[in-house]
């Protein structure tokens, strides 16, 4: 009896710990509303001048910006959604 009870408590404890981790990790990956609400121009200003001067939107054609976006997404470690917003901004201002 004693063993069974402690086993039950252990299992319960492990379940609670696991659930807590899951909440932290799953929610940790979801972008906050504040980030999701950012516009292309904001994301561009915040992400695209960390390593070099931000090239002006008129520097490249819309097609070239698509390619630049693909390359710089991996460098800037931004999401697909953020990259799309930035590239859309660069193409429309062009």
Q: Which is nearer to ligand HEC, 27 or 80 (CB)?
A: 80
Asked if 76 touches ligand HEC (CB under 6 A), the answer is yes
Asked if 5 touches ligand HEC (CB under 6 A), the answer is no
Q: Which two tokens stand for residue 30?
A: 């979801």
Asked if 40 touches ligand HEC (CB under 6 A), the answer is no
Q: If 0-12 CB within 10 Å is exposed, 13-18 middle and 19+ buried, where does residue 88 land? A: middle
* Phi, psi angle pair for 93, to nearest 5°: -70, -30
Residues at the site binding ligand HEC, with contacts judged by CB under 6 A = 47-48, 50-52, 55, 68, 71-72, 75-76, 86
């Amino acid at each position: 009896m004693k063993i069974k009870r402690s086993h039950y408590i252990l299992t319960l404890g492990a379940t609670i710990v696991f659930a807590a981790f899951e909440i932290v990790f799953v929610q940790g990956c979801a972008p906050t509303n504040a980030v999701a609400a950012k516009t292309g121009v904001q994301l561009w200003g915040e992400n695209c001048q960390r390593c070099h001067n931000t090239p002006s939107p008129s520097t490249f054609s819309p097609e070239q910006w698509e390619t630049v976006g693909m390359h710089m997404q991996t460098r800037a470690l931004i999401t697909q959604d953020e990259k799309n917003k930035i590239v859309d901004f660069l193409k429309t201002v062009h």
